[in-house]
């Protein structure tokens, strides 16, 4: 009897000791984990976390914020990228571009501070260089992607439909630097067609069975204000869930809007909320904008176009001293 109780005492003692040891052990482990973490943190970046818009690096904020210009979620960046002094060198072959004849457009990004160095580009929306081509009257639009060649240029073949002036917007981001937008004017020889004028608002566009209507809050687009508008899809007249759309270049849709007068360029990527596309942007100028929306449905790329009438909003003081070319270079 005595020995049995003795055994019980020893068992009790051992069990308790084990129990407490396991307790202290686990707390120790937690300690060491957090230590390692701090250590790692130390060897990593020494900066505070910065969140910036991937397309508009001048827009910074907190985690979870959205860019007022394009509505994209701000992303964490480790360091403020250097604003380099970049320029896109443009050549075409043949040098004189003629309507209806294929031409190779070649682009070479250069760093003006270091003209001999090569300038690698980062991937943005699955491509390194986005090229938006429009005719001067904004009646013709194309969105293409020059590809890197062994000679160090980004080239693509294109055929312009008519003679006249065209504007190329080159949208790229040199590695380790900020986003760049460059406007290149091109003259195309050949038969010209009369310039189209756009005055009437067109908020609904149709491609195949799809119909898309842009619905701004309060029914109007206002300049100089962060605004929001919906892109409502229907398919054969029935409401269509945009989640069914395939991704095109990493997004459900891409919208380019260009001001008819100032040629100000806005590139938007909508968010999917519920069954409609949500666009967030700020139009800097009042006036008529041409807008093109590209989306992928049923394995086919659809491009639809709109005419947006942006009403004057709050008074803008700098409007009179606006240098349009510089402005659009800077923005975006």
Partner 1 sequence: MKTNKSYKIILLFLLLIANSQLLFASGGDDHSHGDEKPTTTEQQQKFFSSEAVSDKYELLIRYEPIRIGEPAHLTLFISEYATNKPIDNAEIKITAQEDGKLVFNVKQSGEGTYTVETSFPEKKNYSLAISINGSLGADLILLTNIEAGKELPHTEETNGKSHFSNWKNWLMIVLALFFGLVLGILIQKRNTVKGKTAIAVILLIVNCFLPIQNSIAHGDDDHGAKKSGVNFSNSFNVPKETQFLFDVLTEKVQKGSFTESTKLFGTIIPSSNGQALITTPQNGRVISLNVNVGEQVKAGQQLAVIEQNIDAGTQVNLLAEKNNLTAEYDAAKKEYDRLTSIQDIAAKKDVDEAKSRLQKAETNLKLFTGNSGKTIALNAPISGIVANFNLSIGATVNTGQSLFTITNLSEVYAEAQVFDRDAGKVKQGAKFTIECVNDNHKTSAVNLLSLAQEINATNQSQRVLFKLNNPDSDFKIGEFVNIRVFASENSQQIALPNSAITEINGKPVVFIKDAAENYTVSYVQLGENNGTHTSILKGVEEGERVVINASYQLKMIYLNQ
Query: How far is Cα 100 from Cα 41, in angstroms, rounded to an integer?
Result: 58
Residue 47 binds partner 1, judged by CB under 8 A: no
Of the residues 69, 110, 127, 254, which one makes contact with partner 1 according to CB under 8 A: 127
Residue 241 binds partner 1, judged by CB under 8 A: no
- Residue 164 structure tokens: 């006249």
Least separation in angstroms between CB 239 and partner 1: 16
Least separation in angstroms between CB 11 and partner 1: 7
Distance of CA 326 to the CA centre of its chain: 20
Of the residues 48, 64, 112, 116, which one makes contact with partner 1 according to CB under 8 A: 116
Q: Is-contact 138 198, C-beta < 8 A?
A: yes
Least separation in angstroms between CB 148 and partner 1: 5
Residue 173 binds partner 1, judged by CB under 8 A: no
Nearer to partner 1, 10 or 101 (CB): 10
Secondary element (H or E) of residue 15: helix 2-43
Residue 250 binds partner 1, judged by CB under 8 A: yes
Of the residues 30, 89, 165, 197, which one makes contact with partner 1 according to CB under 8 A: 30
Of the residues 83, 100, 148, 165, which one makes contact with partner 1 according to CB under 8 A: 148
List 210's β-bridge partners, or say none: 207, 235
Q: Is-contact 103 157, C-beta < 8 A?
A: yes
Is the peptide bond prior to 94 cis by the omega test (within 30 degrees of 0)?
Answer: yes
Residues 6 or more apart from 231 whose CB is under 8 A from it?
Answer: 212, 213, 214, 215, 242, 253, 270, 276, 277, 278, 279, 293
Least separation in angstroms between CB 111 and partner 1: 9
Residue 118 binds partner 1, judged by CB under 8 A: yes
- Residue 135 structure tokens: 């005719």
Please calculate the CA angle 182-185-191 and round it to the nearest 5 degrees.
Answer: 150
Residue 73 binds partner 1, judged by CB under 8 A: no
Residue 317 binds partner 1, judged by CB under 8 A: no
Q: Is-contact 246 297, C-beta < 8 A?
A: yes
Of the residues 94, 102, 176, 239, which one makes contact with partner 1 according to CB under 8 A: 176
- Residue 130 structure tokens: 């986005």
Q: Compute how many residues bind partner 1; rule: CB under 8 A.
A: 61
Residue 69 binds partner 1, judged by CB under 8 A: no
Least separation in angstroms between CB 207 and partner 1: 16
Residue 3 binds partner 1, judged by CB under 8 A: no
Number of other CB atoms surrounding residue 325 within 10 Å: 11
Of the residues 75, 113, 261, 298, which one makes contact with partner 1 according to CB under 8 A: 298
Least separation in angstroms between CB 72 and partner 1: 15
Backbone φ, ψ for residue 4 (5° rounding): -65, -45
Residue 89 binds partner 1, judged by CB under 8 A: no
Query: Strand 60-61's sheet: what is its strand order?
Result: 60-61, 50-52, 75-77
Residue 101 binds partner 1, judged by CB under 8 A: no
Nearer to partner 1, 101 or 244 (CB): 244
Please calculate the CA angle 93-97-102 and round it to the nearest 5 degrees.
Answer: 70
Nearer to partner 1, 202 or 296 (CB): 296
Nearer to partner 1, 117 or 315 (CB): 117
- Residue 10 structure tokens: 């020893």
Residue 239 binds partner 1, judged by CB under 8 A: no
Query: Strand 287-297's sheet: what is its strand order?
Result: 221-222, 300-311, 287-297, 254-259, 265-268
Interface residues with partner 1 (CB under 8 A) are 1, 4-5, 8-37, 39-40, 43, 114, 116-118, 120-123, 126-128, 147-150, 152, 175-176, 244, 246-247, 250, 297-299
């Amino acid at each position: 009897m005595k020995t049995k109780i003795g055994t019980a005492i020893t068992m009790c003692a051992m069990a308790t000791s084990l129990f407490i040891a396991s307790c202290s052990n686990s707390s120790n482990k937690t300690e060491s984990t957090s230590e390692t973490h701090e250590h790692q943190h130390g060897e990593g970046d020494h900066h505070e976390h910065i969140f910036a818009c991937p397309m508009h690096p001048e827009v910074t904020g907190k985690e979870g914020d959205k860019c007022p210009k394009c509505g994209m979620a701000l992303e964490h960046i480790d360091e403020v990228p250097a604003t380099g002094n970049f320029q896109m060198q443009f050549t075409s072959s043949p040098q004189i571009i003629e309507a209806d004849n294929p031409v190779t457009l070649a682009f070479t990004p250069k760093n003006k501070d270091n003209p001999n160095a090569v300038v690698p580009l980062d991937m943005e929306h699955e491509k390194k260089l986005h090229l938006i081509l429009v005719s001067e009257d904004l009646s013709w639009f194309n969105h293409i992607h020059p590809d890197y060649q062994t000679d160090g240029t980004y080239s693509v073949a294109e055929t312009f439909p008519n003679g006249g002036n065209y504007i190329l917007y080159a949208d790229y981001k040199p590695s380790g630097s900020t986003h760049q937008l460059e406007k290149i004017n091109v003259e195309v020889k050949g038969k010209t067609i009369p310039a189209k004028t756009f005055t009437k608002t067109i908020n609904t566009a149709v491609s195949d069975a799809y119909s898309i209507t842009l619905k701004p809050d309060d029914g109007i687009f206002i300049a100089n204000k962060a605004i929001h508008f919906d892109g409502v899809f229907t398919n054969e007249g029935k409401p269509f869930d945009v989640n069914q759309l395939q991704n095109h270049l990493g997004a459900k849709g891409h919208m380019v809007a260009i001001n008819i007068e100032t040629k100000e360029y806005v590139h938007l990527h909508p968010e999917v909320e519920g069954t409609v596309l949500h666009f967030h942007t700020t139009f800097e100028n009042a006036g008529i904008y041409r807008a093109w929306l590209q989306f992928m449905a049923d394995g086919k790329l659809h491009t639809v176009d709109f005419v947006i009438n942006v009403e004057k909003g709050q008074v803008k003081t700098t409007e009179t001293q606006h240098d349009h070319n510089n402005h659009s270079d800077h923005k975006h």
